[in-house]
Amino acid sequence: MDHSEADESIKNNIFTLRNLVICLGVLGLFATLIFVFKLPINTVAIFSFVLLCPLMHFWMMKGGHKH
């Protein structure tokens, strides 16, 4: 495996530091909404699913739908 293959495998790995920071930030946001602002868990879950749908479409189409 040469250097470019190693860089590509690191880019495609889901367990990167950037993804870890994003996930921990989202969990911290949810914890803040539930424990600090006293929002019900079902309200936070519903709004997270509502926001997740357009975000997933954005991430899926980021590459220009290349095959």
- Name the residue among 40, 20, 16 with its Cα closest to residue 30: 40
Q: pLDDT, tens digit, for every residue of 19-28?
A: 899 999 999 9
Q: What is the pTM of this model?
A: 0.68
Each domain of the chain, given as residue ranges in start order, spans 3-60
Band of the pLDDT at 1, cuts 50, 70, 90? low
DSSP-derived secondary structure letter, 7: H
Phi and psi angles of residue 20, each rounded to the nearest 5 degrees, phi first? -65, -45
- Is the predicted pLDDT of residue 41 greater than 80, yes or no? yes
